[in-house]
């Protein structure tokens, strides 16, 4: 599994200790974020809906990182799931199937 070779920022590790479920979803979102970035989702040359989805997901992750969304709550887990879904959408828009 690829995840074991990734080193996480300290805020992700601290979040995973505080709320393991939220930490797992945030880690998955970060992996999806990296894949979307490698596919070009963050560039302004990508389709508008692609970079819009990417920007929304980035804002959600920033809110979690900055503590504006409290861990150990259902809304936090829901928002993290939204970020994961948006990064996945951005990846799909950036790398259309052939």
User: DSSP letters along the chain, please?
Assistant: -GGGGPPPPHHHHHHHHH-HHHHHHHHHHHHHHHHHHHTTTTSTTS-HHHHHHHHHHHHHHHHHHHTSS-SSSHHHHHHHHHHHHHHHHHHHHHS---
Q: Residue 3 falls within a domain, yes or no?
A: no
Residue 12's pLDDT is 95
Q: Residue 1 falls within a domain, yes or no?
A: no
Residue 95's pLDDT is 73
Q: Is the dihedral angle over the CA atoms 35, 88, 42, 4 positive or is it negative?
A: negative
Residue 10's pLDDT is 94
pTM for this predicted structure: 0.87
Number of independent structural domains in the chain:
1
Instruction: Tell me the residue range of the domain where 20 lies.
Output: 9-94
Q: Residue 2 falls within a domain, yes or no?
A: no
Give me the tens of pLDDT residue by residue for the chain, a chain 98 residues long. Answer: 445 567 889 999 999 999 999 999 999 999 999 999 888 888 877 888 888 999 999 999 999 999 999 999 999 999 999 999 999 999 998 876 54
Q: Residue 14 falls within a domain, yes or no?
A: yes
């Amino acid at each position: 599994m690829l995840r074991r070779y990734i080193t996480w920022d300290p805020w992700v590790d601290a979040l995973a200790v505080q709320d393991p479920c939220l930490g797992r979803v945030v880690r998955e979102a970060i992996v999806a974020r990296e894949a979307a970035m490698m596919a070009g989702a963050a560039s302004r040359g990508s389709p508008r809906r692609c970079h819009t989805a990417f920007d929304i997901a980035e804002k959600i992750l920033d809110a979690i990182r900055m503590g504006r969304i409290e861990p150990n709550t259902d809304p936090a887990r829901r928002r993290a799931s939204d970020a994961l879904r948006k990064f996945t959408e951005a990846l799909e828009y950036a790398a259309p199937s052939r």
